[in-house]
Structure 1
Amino acid sequence: MKKNVLIIGAGGVAQVVAHKCAQHNDLLGDIHIASRTVAKCRAIVESVREKKALKNPNGILEAHALDALDIEATKALIEKTNSRIVINVGSAFLNMSVLSACIGTGAAYIDTAIHEDPAKICETPPWYENYEWKRREECEKAGVTAILGAGFDPGVVNAYAKLAFDEYFDRVDSIDIVDINAGSHGKYFATNFDPEINFREFTGQVWSWQDSKWVSNRMFEVGKEWDLPVVGKQKAYMTGHDEVHSLSQRLGVPNVRFWMGFGDHYINVFTVLNNLGLLSEKPVRTAEGLEVVPLKVVKAVLPDPSSLAPDYTGKTCIGDLVKGVKDGKEREVFIYNVADHKQAYEEVGSQGISYTAGVPAVAAAMLVALGDWDVRKMANVEDLPAQPFLGLLNEIGLPTRIKDADGDRALEFENPALIAAS
């Protein structure tokens, strides 16, 4: 059994991960949090202690300063803390460095988003082939478990797709992943994740997988209204996203698309910023001779996403609309979760978007610790059994529901992992 967790990153998602690891430290063991800004790590530690979140109150919970781009320093911290599981919820620019450190130390690796090169935006699909999948053989040779994209989207939605593929259909024709945040943070304009990463998703091409080939569109070019449980009718736009690039290749489904909800105000502000060149990642020189990156300046003046949590209200709805054939008849199911911003803040001090991203990474860590997902090779979530993951999420804060011809109901799972964890 693998024990002791190193969390890399100190933003809103890292705070969720730390709280949830603390709630299960009887299973996960020691908890260490590392980031370039150690003060942020210490604030998370203090938050966990204030909430009395440690299930084992005598368990180790420590903060560390770390530049995770420094592979040797990361290896040294993994070894110093005897961490056998590393949960990487830092910047997407860190992934390959942290993965290298895990391969070098034998620690299991878990992340929640695809790797990005700071100098490149919207690379050739499928994105996973550009970095992660090139290292499959390296992971397997080292016997290192590397679970990619174990957040919500990517992550839980991949498990929803796997569940539908295995249990609800004989043939899957399409998977449409829909992500609606119907909450309000009360700010004039803000992003729910790191603004730099957030905007990079939207300034390049929108890649979707249609009729078994890659199709390119512009951002906000293709939109439609969705009528979803709890959040009701919401406008969402086809957007490029990580899970499209793995589900299309791993499950062999001919149509995989991702839709994200945006209000008119967000679109207007984004369009102005983009048209002015303020979302560019290319350096410019000011009249005073200073070289600045416009996107980093915008990031600096926008609210820190972790600061949004106290005033965030409303709910999210994220799920998979899957269509295909079962027993010779056409069928469609919507498998989904609804999360509440206020409840997330009350439990872990973060808003609902961070909550939905962080909790699944901890569930993945628990399954690695228990052995269910300790596969000693690289895997996307859809490569792994969905039921233990979704069953665990039911228990620790992100319950799954399904809406189909038989109605809208909670999904329950027989989960041997839960028995072992208890």
Structure 2
Amino acid sequence: MKRNVLIIGAGGVAQVVAHKCAQNNDVLGDIHIASRTLEKCDAIIQSIREKGSMKTEGVLESHQVNARDSAAVAELIRNTGSQIVINVGSPFVNMSVLEACIETGAAYMDTAIHEEEDKICETPPWYSNYEWKRRDRCAEKGVTAILGIGFDPGVVNAYARLAIDNWMDQVKSIDIVDINAGSHGHYFATNFDPEINFREFTGRVYSWQNGQWQENKMFEIGKEWDLPVVGKQKAYMTGHDEVHSLAVNYPTADVRFWMGFGDHYINVFTVLKNLGLLSEQPVKTAEGLEVVPLKVVKAVLPDPASLAPRYTGKTCIGDLVKGEKDGKEVEVFIYNVADHKEAYEEVGSQGISYTAGVPPVAAAMLIANGTWDTGRMANVEELDPKPFLDLLDRIGLPTRVRDEKGDRPWNEAV
């Protein structure tokens, strides 16, 4: 049994994580929030106090730390007595935070694959370049490390496992669809860190098809999806984290990720990319100043956390899984619908942050009660999805199933 949570990061997702930890602090214990910028941590704590999110009286503290400094993170883990670390900082700090957890024995989780700032779209599977190299050390030290435990990656991995375990003898394809049918009212903005957002879309699009990696260009392959609540939406095949673990764990299935984009987003993105403004490589200005174009674009765009008050509409994220059962073809769509306004009213963040921030708290609760405290490194599809989805139902992200028998809550379908 583990208690006391250290949250690394102080952005929009961290705000959701902190609020949800506070709502469940009877299970999770002390809550600590750490970032390079102490003021951001203090603002999250103020928000928790204003909304009365603490379930019981307890420790709620902010700390300043450089998450790239593994020794400093390890010292903070020890000083706070934290046994669970939720890393929702930049993917650039994954390795340093993971190393601190391996050193101290604290459970680790993150919501995205590690990245190096000067590299985009490395050789797949991406997890094998960084996280998976530390699997043996986690096992040797009995350290629980749950990778990619946001929504996508994360919940969608659990959806794939649920579909395969309960609907089919053999899986043939896993198509993950992420649609944001909301509106933030700005001319142009990204729903999470612009630097990370654009890096996803400037490289090659990797999918796993016919037993091998397939490469495409961004926006090269699109299709219309008819989804619950949000209706017909255009989505494009995109490279994404979860493809890289699902392809290894289900190698006989085609694994693809689809994300919805409007024409306006695509037009602005294309102009920025063609002008070289999305490059991660430094350039020199006429005045001799060295800048990274992508960081300049990030600096002039709205902070994703600032979008929340004006955001309206809904998201729909789910898995369409196809396979065979008793010699017959079957398919099932497992999904969640989230509302931007409802997320803001509850925790002060928009729906994209909400869907990313609630799942790691559910995972932390499963670590705290021992259900997911595995003492090893695991991707989400390697863990029993049912207790995870049960908790998500209770704390804000209910799951539904649509198949030949209709549309209903997941636990009525399995």
TM over 0.5: yes
Equivalent residue runs for 1:132-281 within 5 Å = 132-281=131-280
SS at match of 2:127: helix
Distance in 2 between the 1:412 and 1:327 partners? 22
Letter in 2 for 1:200: R
Q: Which runs of 4+ in 1 moved over 3 A?
A: none
Distance 1:373 1:33 in 2: 23
For 2:411 and 2:361, how far apart are their aligned partners in 1? 20
1:99 pairs with 2:98: yes
SS in 1 for 2:411: coil
Please state whether the residue corresponding to 1:280 is helix, strand or coil. coil
Deviation string 1:164-196 (CA, Å, 9 cap, x unpaired) is 111111111000000000000000000001000
Q: Does 1:410 align with 2:412?
A: no
Letter in 1 for 2:52: K
Q: If the length of structure 1 is used for normalisation, what is the TM-score?
A: 0.97
Q: Which amino acid aligns with 2:344?
A: Y
- In structure 1, the residue matched to 2:13 is 13
**Does the 8 Å contact 1:3/1:85 carry over to 2?**
yes
Which structure 2 residues correspond to residues 264-413 of structure 1 after superposition, within 5 A?
264-412=263-411
TM-score (norm 2): 0.99
1:72 matched residue in structure 2? 71
Unaligned runs of 5+ in 1: 415-422
Could you tell me how far 1:411 is from its partner in structure 2? 1.6
Structure-2 residue corresponding to 1:55:
55
- Letter matched to residue 3 of structure 1: R
Q: Which amino acid in structure 2 is aligned with residue 196 of structure 1?
A: E
Distance 1:173 1:131 in 2: 28
Secondary structure in 2 aligned to 1:339?
strand
- The answer as to 2:136 corresponding to 1:124 is no
Give ranges in structure 2 of 5+ residues lacking alignment.
none
Output one character per residue of 1:87-140: Cα deviation in whole Å (capped at 9) or x when no partner: 000000000000000000000001011100111100000011100111100100
Give the Cα separation in 1 of the matches to 2:411 and 2:333: 15
Q: Do 1:390 and 1:413's aligned partners in 2 also have CA atoms closer than 8 Å?
A: no
- Alpha-carbon offset, residue 251 of structure 1: 2.5
- Separation of aligned partners in 2, 1:331 and 1:385: 22
Residue identity opposite 1:52 in structure 2:
G
Alignment RMSD: 1.1
Q: How far 1:252 moved relative to its partner?
A: 2.7
Counterpart Cα distance in 2 of 1:371 and 1:251: 27
* CA offsets 1:269-310 (integer angstroms, 9 cap, x no match): 000000000000111111111100000000000000000000
In 1, distance between residues paired with 2:64 and 2:195? 22
Residues 16-57 of structure 1, C-alpha deviations (whole Å, 9 max, x = no match): 00000000000000000000001000000000000000001x
Q: Which amino acid aligns with 1:24?
A: N
Contact 1:332–1:404 (8 Å) recurs in 2: yes
Secondary structure at the counterpart of residue 412 of structure 1: helix
In structure 2, the partner of 1:41 is 41
SS of the aligned residue for 2:278 comes to coil
Aligned pairs, number = 414
**Distance (Å, rounded) in 1 between the aligned partners of 2:309 and 2:250:** 40
Once residues 257 and 167 of structure 2 are traced to their aligned partners in structure 1, the CA distance between those partners, rounded to angstroms, is 21
Q: Secondary structure at the match of 1:288?
A: coil
* CA drift at 1:413: 7.4
Shift of 1:410: 1.1
